[in-house]
A = this chain, B = another copy of it.
Amino acid sequence: MAATLERELSIGARMHGWASDLFPICRSLTGPGVRQTLEYLSDLFPGLQVKSIPSGTRVFDWIVPDEWTIRDAFILDESGNRRVDFRENNLHVVGYSTPVDGWFTREELEPHLHSLPDQPDAVPFVTSYYAPNWGFCLAHRERIKLERGRYRVVIDSDLGPGVMNYGELVLPGRQTSEILLSTNICHPSMANNELSGPVVQAALARWLTGLESRRHTYRLLFLPETIGAIAYLSRHLEHMKRFTIAGFVLTCAGDNRTFSYVPSRSGDTLADRVALHVLARRGSFRRYRFLDRGSDERQYCSPGVDLPVCSVMRSKYVTYPEYHTSLDDLSLISPEGLTGTFEVLRKCLMILEANQCYRASVPCEPQLGRHGLYPELSRRQETSERRPLLDVLAYADGRADIIDIAEKVELDALECAEMLEALHRLGLVQAAESRA
């Protein structure tokens, strides 16, 4: 137990370390920051394929945007002081800002400035992916210090045809049934949303890679949000609709606050069932509605896509105060927070690996004593305690999977799986058509 604890803390510390390494990179939908991030991730586990789609490619209703490169951006006052400086924090420049170099009055500058009066020390995260524009984000406290006068504004960026990149890791299993994990690599220097998702997914990739044998095939995607998922689906939709049995969007995975769950559109897919089982047994969690969705489950669960995908998070995007600001920094995520999400998702995957419908082989209860499974003396104490083995067996009707059975008998699904595997070795149950 102590060893396990140490190993897991060590996973948490490692994930936090990866996030720290990735934090300074200025990511966006496209550009060198995304490639640099994918390169870093590809060192953490083998097999990551980095793909690219040319700007202008039509993907369903969308068009892949131009590639954006940002080198520098600042606002100089007349005394030559850098009053806003991209090099200090890459959130200072509006994502996808077009290049600019010129002198502006304070009034001319005004519509290009973004700040949060209610959080005067936070630099907000603003983008303008799909309409040409430029701007700066800054703490409100700094904004109000910008006196009347003239300012030199420089944004040293390129916005033009190029590619959009994403990472794909497919880990084959014994079956064609697939499990999808999907996270985003398009956010600049913010930690919970979104470096926590990529690092937890990287840790899961390492764990899955290390398994002796995988039953299911795993498809792990590291995508720019929205356009990346849409582009990926436009290339793989038929395959994914045919083989995906469950999927999880990984985002906001690292703060050590309560867990959150956003269901799939129907709310009762295998992904929902396993996530709800694991979260409910762990303790209390916030259960959101599909209306509250906000990440790539918007695409995975859209009509015509209809993949069985839900989200397991810590504090849900939008709901926590640091969201989409410079306050979402490395201090917001912790090894413990990252480890908790990693454990919840690993548990979901372990259950899906074990998931199976079983059918009792003989009518009536078996004579447990004959199989070495039962106390021989019947005292009041024994008959009064719950007999989980018989309960599990009582629901092994060939239609209930281990998640169903676990919910019925109010036990952990992996414990149920172990009991059923023991009963299977004794010939007391047989495998039925699996739902997973």
Determine whether the beta carbon of B126 is less than 8 Å from that of A377: yes
Q: Which of A37-45, A76-84, A247-255, A302-310 contacts B (4 or more CB under 8 A)?
A: A302-310
Closest to A399 in B: B303
Within the complex, the shortest CB–CB distance from A145 to chain B, in Å, comes to 22
In angstroms, Cα B383 to Cα A376, docked, is 64
Contact count band on A: 35 or more
Closest to A304 in B: B363
Interface residue A63 (Cβ < 8 Å from any Cβ of B): yes
Determine whether the beta carbon of B397 is less than 8 Å from that of A303: yes
Determine whether the beta carbon of B367 is less than 8 Å from that of A130: yes
In angstroms, Cα B362 to Cα A233, docked, is 12
Determine whether the beta carbon of A61 is less than 8 Å from that of B367: yes
Determine whether the beta carbon of B60 is less than 8 Å from that of A362: yes
In angstroms, Cα B226 to Cα A369, docked, is 13
A380 touching B303 in the complex, CB below 8 Å, given contacts A233-B363, A298-B390, A364-B229: no
Interface residue A24 (Cβ < 8 Å from any Cβ of B): no
Interface residue A365 (Cβ < 8 Å from any Cβ of B): yes
Interface residue A19 (Cβ < 8 Å from any Cβ of B): no
CB neighbors of B among A364-404 (8 A): 364-367, 369-370, 376-380, 383-384, 386, 390-391, 393-398
Q: Which of A202-210, A317-325, A329-337, A345-353 contacts B (4 or more CB under 8 A)?
A: A317-325
Within the complex, the shortest CB–CB distance from A321 to chain B, in Å, comes to 11
Hey, which chain B residues are within 8 Å of A304, CB to CB? 359-360, 362-364
Within the complex, the shortest CB–CB distance from A262 to chain B, in Å, comes to 13
- A to B CB contacts below 8 Å, 28 in the list: A60-B362, A61-B365, A61-B428, A62-B370, A63-B367, A124-B380, A125-B380, A127-B377, A127-B378, A129-B378, A130-B367, A130-B369, A226-B365, A230-B364, A230-B365, A234-B364, A265-B397, A290-B394, A291-B408, A294-B383, A302-B364, A303-B359, A303-B393, A303-B395, A303-B398, A304-B359, A305-B363, A306-B397
